[in-house]
Amino acid sequence: MQTNLRGRDFIGDLDFSKEEVETVLDVAWDLKRKRALGEPHPYLRDKTLAMLFFFTSTRTRGSFEAGMAQLGGHAAFIDSDTTQIAHGDTAKEIGEIFGRYFDGIAIRQCDWQFGNRYINEVARHSRVPVLNMQCDVYHPFQCLADLMTIMEKKGRDLRRKKVVVSWAYAASYSKPISVPQSLILQLTRFGCDVVLAHPPEFKLMPEIMDMAQENARKYHTGFEVVHDMDEAFRDADVVYPKSWGPLVTTTGKEEGKALIEKYRDWITDQRRMNLTREDSIYMHCLPADRNLEVTDEVIDGPHSVVYDEAENRLHVQKAVMALTMS
Ligand code: CP
């Protein structure tokens, strides 16, 4: 167990070592148990968290806000429509000023080639921990919840478990690439054989791919890229298919939309789930584009663990806040 997390930022998935992530998970399970038993656990009494949202959110906002209250503290919701954080206030000013008002600063800023730089700039000027609630590069709290869920369903030893992170079609818009990037970075440290599946135009960032390859080498796990969804699903223990934008290929809206439309058949349906292992699990960070990314039959069916996965956001976030902000 590593206990030196007090005062630390959590912006990228690899900011915490593997042992530190194991500590976070241990604490998350303890907090989950305490909540189930109704045991009070006010580790952050009188502490406050600023939650800056430049993008909309349901789960992230709800789970951070509920989590701070359950830890005895308070979370302030600061959105970009009703404040000046999106115009006028610089990252340095936010770090300097909110670092003096609050005991932690959590930020969602997903603008491509900006969000991660912004969060790091706030952190450089903040005297309190800065937590990444999703940027253009990483969604680290989602990925901690995903890892916790996979361990709950498949056991803590994930060696030789085939985990598929797949692109999926969605009509709505070019979604961030942060979820698949966080998944390939974190899961390659935890024993899984990770298969990344996407159409050729939906590549992830080369530097993230390099880090995932390096993890696979260091931790003796598998990391493979395929461009065929059926091939990826075959004998999978875990499938995590979701949409993301072709941002590494193009940032043009029309060009991006045309690329997405080429791959309407990248949907998770029962035929595809039948290719996976009998006891496989279906995961999605939500919100999902129902009947485009995934059929109702699958997301509401026996393989789906999406509600347990969403619940675990609460427990991992409370663990990180308690460890970094106390
Ligand atoms: N999974 C997730 O981050 O959900 P929200 O966008 O609703 O916060």
**pLDDT interval class at 11 (50, 70, 90):** very high
Ligand 1 atom with the smallest distance to the CA of 58 is: 7
Q: Is 274 exposed, middle or buried (0-12, 13-18, 19+ CB in 10 A)?
A: exposed
What's the pLDDT tens digit per position in 185-241?
999 999 999 999 999 999 999 999 999 999 999 999 999 999 999 999 999 999 999
Q: Confidence band (pLDDT; 50, 70, 90) for 174?
A: confident
Minimum-distance ligand 1 atom for the alpha carbon of 55: 6
Task: Using alpha carbons, select from 10, 2, 3 the residue that is nearest to residue 129.
Answer: 10
Q: According to the CATH classification, is domain 142-309 in 3.40.50.1370?
A: yes
pLDDT number for residue 31: 98
Distance of CA 262 to the CA centre of its chain: 27
In this prediction, residue 317 carries a pLDDT of 99
The pLDDT > 90 percentage for the chain reads 97
Rounded to whole angstroms, how far apart are CA atoms 247 and 176?
A: 8
Mean pLDDT of 66-70: 98
Place of tokens 């009998």: 278
pLDDT in tens, 27-54: 999 999 999 999 999 999 999 999 999 9
Question: Residue 284: what pLDDT?
Answer: 98
Q: What is the pLDDT of residue 1?
A: 83
* pLDDT surpasses 90 at 171: no
Q: What is the mean pLDDT of residues 303-314?
A: 99
Residue 147 has pLDDT above 90, yes or no: yes
pLDDT at 3: 83
- Please tell me the CATH code under which domain 13-139+313-325 is placed: 3.40.50.1370
Is the CB–ligand 1 distance for residue 59 below 6 Å? Answer: yes
Query: What's the rounded Cα separation, in Å, for the pair 120 and 130?
Result: 8
Q: State how far the Cα of 268 lies from the Cα of 290, in Å rounded to an integer.
A: 10
Cβ atoms < 10 Å from Cβ of 95: 22
Distance 57 CA to ligand 1 centre (A): 5
pTM (two decimals): 0.98
Proportion of the chain in helix, strand, coil states, percent, rounded to 5: 40, 15, 40
Mean residue pLDDT across the chain: 97
Question: How many angstroms separate the CA atoms of 11 and 129, rounded?
Answer: 10
The type of residue at 225 is V
The protein residue with its alpha carbon nearest to ligand 1, atom 4, reads 59
pLDDT value at 22 more than 90: yes
Strands ordered across the beta sheet of 162-167? 223-226, 193-197, 162-167, 238-242, 281-282
pLDDT of residue 48: 98
91-116 average pLDDT score: 98
pLDDT of 173 over the 90 cut? no
Lookup: tokens for 120: 């790091």
Residue 196 in 3-state DSSP?
strand
Ligand 1 in contact with 286 (CB < 6 A)? yes
Residue 93 has φ and ψ, to the nearest 5°, of -65, -40
Length of the chain: 326
Q: Residue 97, exposed/middle/buried by CB under 10 A (0-12, 13-18, 19+)?
A: middle
221 lines ligand 1 (CB under 6 A): no
Where, residue-wise, is CATH 3.40.50.1370 in the chain? 13-139+313-325, 142-309
Q: What is the pLDDT of residue 21?
A: 98
